[in-house]
Amino acid sequence: MSDFTGLTALVTGGASGIGRATAGLLAERGARVAVLPATADTPWIGRLLDAAPDPAAERAALQARQPTGRLVRAAEVAGAIAYLASPLSGSTTGTALAVDGGMQGLRLRPADR
């Protein structure tokens, strides 16, 4: 069996179903965590929005579904990944870190923001 300590792997759906089972198998070989970002304000999302009939309305719709009222910044996701890749996260294992502005755990009505 290979040792994945110090290596990076991506498991789609790492928080549920077959992804969780795969993550469990990988944990035996040194894999530890998954990052679950929400819709992040990236160049890719920018291109999708630019191609929409009304880019401003589409951006507003994406922001409105976020409990924080804004898209996740790519730097926020990168910061979480940098921490998880650092020695400081050595005991952070068997977890899925949501960097999603509350999308996973919060369901706020617009008036509640």
What is the predicted pLDDT for the residue at 60? Answer: 96
What is the predicted pLDDT for the residue at 92? Answer: 80
| pLDDT band, residue 57 (cuts 50/70/90) | very high
Q: Is pLDDT of 37 > 90?
A: no
| pTM attached to this predicted model | 0.69
Other C-beta atoms closer than 10 Å to the C-beta of 101 total: 22
Selected residue with higher pLDDT from 50 and 20: 50
Taking only the tens place, the pLDDT of each residue in 67-98 is 899 999 999 999 998 998 888 988 887 777 88
- 80 and 35 Cβ atoms separated by less than 8 Å: yes
Average pLDDT of span 57-63: 95
CB neighbours of 81 closer than 8 A, spacing ≥ 6? Answer: 35
Displacement of CA 78 from its chain's centroid (Å): 10
What is the predicted pLDDT for the residue at 97? Answer: 84
- CATH number attached to the domain at 8-97: 3.40.50.720
Alpha-helix residue ranges (DSSP H) falling in the chain: 17-27, 43-51, 55-64, 74-85
The domain segmentation of the chain, as residue ranges, is 8-97
What is the predicted pLDDT for the residue at 6? Answer: 64
